[in-house]
């Protein structure tokens, strides 16, 4: 059973999410906002967002696919899916997305096998376009497996530019390579790398860097319910040094004038806004670029310019910040 708690403080207030089963209590995360003199307004807002989080985590997620615009036209793919008997609708937030409401397994579909579509949640789909990739860009994806964002980057570059995809686990690199081959993308290099350790080959190398860092995964509990049991308050805190090490290395790999995207699939403030605050205090050449993607019911535009996405039936819980190097 999920439970909400509220913490009204002098400068910050929070909604705290936990899971209780029998006598076992698991801390899942903490979402914060600034306290204002009207504390009732703060409490109402936290309660509303807390209820949205609970509703989203209990909702059955929709299956969404991303159209490979480097190979196919959106309308053509949409119509072909309808002809194949799928019940579909346009994406909730992403122009490349198609929601699959009914039909047979999409991964056995000929459009999937032809590389015209990729299964991807819309929260993850939103991230890559925020890099504002330009033809000829060199882009790094430091935590790339299974390759959804890597392949999206390669598609958007339209063959004119290069993506370098890295992951710590060599056995996961095959997943990226399989997706690249299926989608017909040849502008990507795939290599094993520990993103927490600096690689001198890539210092000041990239125009754009994406870091979808390891996180507590609060935003995807409905897809991975085991998260409720294998996370503790200590394990959440232990993730932060890893995330910050990856941020620092990514910044070193980025050219002046470049863009770094930091993303997680959690709502936990310590892994999200607090990491951004720490980074800005340490790196004076860093500036958060304000994100705005429309007025969606589950989008929260944070004061620092970042975006928190609350989970709903269409999207996983997510966080993304766009940071430019001055």
For the question of residue 143 being annotated catalytic, the response is no
Who contacts 295 (Cβ-Cβ below 8 Å, separation ≥6)? none
Kindly list the strands in the beta sheet with 24-34, ordered across the sheet, starting from the edge strand earlier in the chain. Answer: 2-8, 12-21, 24-34
Q: List the beta strands (DSSP E) in the chain.
A: 2-8, 12-21, 24-34, 63-67, 87-90, 97-102, 117-119, 138-141, 162-167, 188-192, 206-212, 254-264, 286-289, 299-301, 307-309, 318-325
Q: Which of 114, 110, 181, 171 is nearest to 150 (CA)?
A: 181
Q: How far apart are CA 94 and CA 78, in angstroms?
A: 14
Q: List the beta strands (DSSP E) in 122-253.
A: 138-141, 162-167, 188-192, 206-212
Helix or strand or coil: residue 304?
A: coil
Q: Of 94, 143, 215, 265, which one is the catalytic site residue?
A: 265
The radius of gyration of the chain from alpha carbons, rounded to an integer in Å, stands at 20
Known catalytic residues?
Answer: 265
């Amino acid at each position: 059973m999920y439970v909400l708690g509220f913490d009204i403080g002098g400068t910050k207030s929070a909604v705290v999410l936990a899971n209780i089963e029998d006598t076992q209590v698991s801390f899942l995360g903490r979402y914060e906002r600034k306290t204002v003199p009207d504390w009732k307004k703060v409490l109402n807002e936290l309660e509303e967002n807390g209820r949205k989080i609970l509703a989203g985590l209990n909702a059955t997620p929709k299956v969404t696919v991303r159209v490979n615009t480097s190979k196919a036209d959106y309308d053509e793919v949409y119509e072909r899916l309808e002809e194949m008997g799928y019940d579909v609708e346009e994406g909730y937030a992403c122009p490349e997305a198609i929601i699959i409401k009914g039909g047979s397994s999409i991964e056995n579909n000929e459009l999937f096998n032809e590389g015209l579509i990729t299964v991807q949640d819309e929260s993850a789909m939103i991230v890559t376009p925020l890099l504002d990739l330009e033809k000829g860009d060199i882009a790094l994806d430091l935590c790339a497996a299974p390759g959804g964002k890597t392949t999206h980057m390669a598609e958007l570059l339209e063959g004119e530019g290069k993506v370098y995809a890295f992951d710590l686990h060599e056995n996961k690199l095959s997943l990226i390579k399989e997706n690249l081959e299926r989608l017909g993308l040849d502008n990507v290099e795939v290599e094993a790398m520990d993103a927490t350790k600096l690689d001198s080959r890539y210092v000041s190398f990239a125009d754009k860097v994406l870091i979808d860092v390891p996180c507590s995964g609060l935003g995807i509990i409905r897809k991975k319910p085991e998260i409720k049991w294998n996370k503790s308050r200590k394990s959440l805190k232990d993730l932060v040094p890893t995330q910050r090490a990856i941020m620092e290395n990514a910044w070193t790999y980025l050219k002046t004038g470049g863009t770094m995207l930091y993303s997680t699939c959690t709502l936990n403030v310590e892994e999200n806004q607090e990491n951004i605050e720490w980074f800005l205090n340490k790196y004076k050449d860093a500036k958060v670029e304000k994100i705005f993607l429309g007025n969606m019911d589950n989008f929260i535009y944070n004061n620092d310019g970042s975006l928190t996405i609350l989970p709903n039936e269409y999207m996983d819980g997510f966080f993304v910040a766009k940071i430019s190097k001055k």
